[in-house]
Structure formats: C-alpha cells, structure tokens
Structure 1
Amino acid sequence: MSRPVIGITCYVEPARFTVWETTTALLPYDYVDHVARAGGQPVILPPAGDPATLVDRLDGLILAGGGDVGPERYGQEPHERTGYVRPFRDDAELGLVRAALERDLPFLGVCRGMQILNVALGGGLHQHLPDVVGHQGHAPAPGDYGRMPVRLAPGSLTSKVFGTETVDVAHYHHQAVDLLAEGLTVTAHAEDGTVEAVEVEDHPFALAVQWHPETDDEPALFEALVRHARR
C-alpha cells in the first residue's frame, strides 16, 4: 500500500548549518519522523507561491508551530510581547487551511497551527497568555518546554484518539484561543482554563492542539491523521 502524502508547513528563518548562514525553509525533524513512522510520506510545504493549490495533491495536512499570528488578522493592535510575526507565512497558511477544510482534507494543527485555524474561521487570540492565567507554565523559559496535564472532552475525537480523558503534554506557547471561531468545538482545556484542543464540526478528521505532540514519543495524533489520510 502506498504511503499517503502528508504536507507539513514550515518556518522561513535565518539559520546556520555546516559552513552556511542564510535564510532557510526549515522544520523540526520530529514532525517528519512522526509522520514517516506512522506510515505517511512527509512533504514540507514552504510559505511561497500559493500552497493552497496543492491540497488536491495531498492526502493530509499538518500546520506546524511557529511565531505569532499577526494580530491585525483578528482585529487587534500588537501586544508588546507579540513577536516573530511573518506576514507571508500568515498569508500562505490562512489560505492553505481554508482550502484544506473545503476539501475535507484530514488536518492536524499544532500550536500556531491551532491559532491559524481559529483565525482563519473568524476567531481571535489572547496575545500574551500570562496576562490571562497569571503564570508562565505554558512557556517556562526560552527553549524550555513546560509539562502540564490537559483534560479532554469525553466523547470527543481528541479523546478517542488518545483513549483517555487526561494527557500530560509538552507546552511552549504564550498565545492561545480567546474568541472561538464559529464551526469549532473546544475539546481540551488546561487546569487554568486555557483552550488546548479544538475540532472542526462536521469534518471527518480536523483537529488542532495547543501543545507540541511532535516533541514526545506518543504517536497517537500522527497515527490517527495518517489513518484517516489513507481513506
């Protein structure tokens, strides 16, 4: 059986490798490894040209993590802590996720990917989560993942994927869903009330999580995506 093709969005950032220092389209290899181990064929999608035209060539899509979504996309002025905004990436991914949903393409959003999904459908974000929850637990320090449990809604697709109603996961985000977009259902919360997962209503498989499943060995989300992509 051929491997379903899973597109994964990526960063465009200055990077240094071997003897080179240059602007690079890059992605943490954990995403690629998880998709390959789940039986998919990973393909990296840079935010160039019009990635939305590729949805008919894909069997599934992952919107990966990254910098903040531009607050003008949801009608706000920038918070002083909002950063790493890449307008060209926002443009590409907002169009890509809308096209993917129209085609009922199996979809998984990760961290920024959940925020893009919410904004694409008309929702808004908390620009700096510590202002809301009063602690730094969702991003303890630069480059340091925080771990905390999230509670999954009973009967939700997210809960069925994990086969449980509580999971301990890796967090690294300072933004989160505020105004929930129409057509989304919240399916997980952190103990402090932060929205940690959403699902697209009336879609075979379209969900997004605020945490970083690619950093853990738990393959459930990637296996579920690839399984639905095979269909």
Structure 2
Amino acid sequence: MNEEFTNRMLVVVEVTTARPDRPAYHAKVQVLNSRVVAEAKTAGWSVTRVAAADVTPADLSRLTADADALVIVGGEDITPSYYGGTTGYEGETAHFAIADEGQIALVQRAFALGTPLLGICRGLQIINVALGGTLVQHIDDGIHKNVDVSIDQILSTHDVTLATGSTLASSLGRVDISVQSAHHQIVDRLGAGLVAAAHAPDGLIEALEHDSAPIVGVQWHPEAPDSPADQLALLLAGLAAAHDSRTRVEA
C-alpha cells in the first residue's frame, strides 16, 4: 500500500447494486467496478462505494460531500431527456433517471468546488451531459465494442491517440495507447469548458477533460481485466496529483 495516499477519501459512484433482470450484465459490471475499488485501495485511498440509483439525489450529495476525489463508473444509457434526446433509438438500454440526476449534480458540484473527478465510460457521458453537452445515441461499428457476442466477449481492443499536452497524456506518459471499450454511445457536442483529449482511429472522441477544472473522462475501460496493467493506476494517481495541487493552492 502506498502510504502517501492514506487518508484521502475516494468515492466510487456506480449506477445500481441490483439488476435482477440482467444477471450476466450485472456480473460483468460488478467485476469492473470492483476492480476500481480494489486498485484504489491498493494505492492507499480510503474508498467508499455508492450506487446512485439506490439513494435519492440529496442522499447521494450528502454521502459524497467529504470526498477528496470521485470516480463515476460505467453502466446503462443516460435518460435522453437530460441531453435533449428522445427514446426509441437503436440499442437503447434501461434508464435510471434517479442515478442520472444524482450523478449530474455531482459533476456540477465537482466543477464548482474543484474536486478531482474521473469518469469512466458512462461516467464520461455524465460529465459531458452535466456540463451541457449532447450524445450520439447509437454507433455500431465493431470498433468501440464487439457486436453479436456474449457479454464476456463484448470488450473491444483498439488504439487511441491522446492529445499532445493533455492532462491524460501527462498522466499516462504517452500519446498512443491500446484500450478496451464497450460502448454504443459517444460524445456529440462537447459541454462547456470540455475539450477532446483522445480520439479513436475512426475520429470519434474517446476522452475529454475540462480546460480549467480537474475533470477527466475516458470512454474506455481501464479497469477491465485485460487492459494494460498500469492504466487505471496511472489515472488514479492523476486524481491524487490533482487533489494535492488543489490542497496546496488552498493552503
């Protein structure tokens, strides 16, 4: 354990703790979310895990109020009304409007307070929507996720190019990386203050970050078991660095 991080509180915010109608999908999500928690604990963070759909938005705000940093992880599509979209699109999943409301509020509070925030997959999309952006509701090209396969094979491996000079490139130490992703929605219009920080080979945005706040989102899954071993650790270290920088400024 890295004692340097001890006593820093990280809150991992997932969608829900129960999907009785989709056990295979739920099991996959739990593997991914548990890896975020385990990696953070290994790094020395004190970790709290909260499911946004299982509490009210007010309770979610209260439960995360003392966080030194936040990670919003993956899950279902965001309710379209939050970004001006409509239902009935191809590939539509279940929606958890309470989770959407609570997580959007967390992003807006993190921006206002300067709390370091990492969004993973859906978490990136929540960041974008919370800051006024929109989403492309469906892509189905075999690059960003494997199609017509079981849930255990859904993660697609592909290259990503990080923007030179971006926070992500600094955190990961290089601009060309290999990632694993499994998403069918993507950023359309960027939210206020957000800039593209990475692109896939097809030109679609694979990461974003805020131009002044310590907010970063990646569309891929650094917590996937077959992702490069250091990706998640480096991103979590980036959260710690952002927290330390904020603490020095406030002191």
TM-score, L = length of structure 2: 0.81
Give 1:142 deviation, angstroms: 4.1
Give 1:3 deviation, angstroms: 2.6
1:5 correspondence with 2:15: no
Greater relative contact order: 1 or 2 (C-alpha under 8 angstroms, separation 6 or more)? 1
Bigger drift between 155-164 and 44-53 goes to 44-53
Gaps of 5+ in 1: 17-24
- Equivalence map 1:58-207=2 (5 Å): 58-78=67-87, 79-130=89-140, 135-140=141-146, 141-143=149-151, 144-203=154-213, 205-207=214-216
Letter of the 2:35 partner, please give it.
D
Distance 1:210 1:114, change over 3 A: same
Gaps of 5+ in 2: 22-28
Cα distance in 1, alignment partners of residues 50 and 142 from structure 2: 32
Runs of at least 4 residues off by over 4 Å: none
State the Cα RMSD in Å.
1.9
How many residues were matched structurally?
A: 218
What residue number does 1:52 align with? 61
Contact 1:186 1:195 in 2 (8 A): yes
Cα distance in 1, alignment partners of residues 86 and 20 from structure 2: 29
TM-score, L = length of structure 1: 0.88
What residue number does 2:35 align with? 30
Distance 1:32 1:15, change over 3 A: farther
* Greater helix content: 2
Bigger drift between 81-90 and 59-68 goes to 81-90
Deviations 1:21-70 (A, max 9, x none): xxxx9673101011112221111122113222344411000011010011
Matched position secondary structure for 1:202: coil
Cα distance in 2, alignment partners of residues 97 and 53 from structure 1: 14
Cα distance in 1, alignment partners of residues 195 and 176 from structure 2: 18
Contact 1:60 1:106 in 2 (8 A): yes
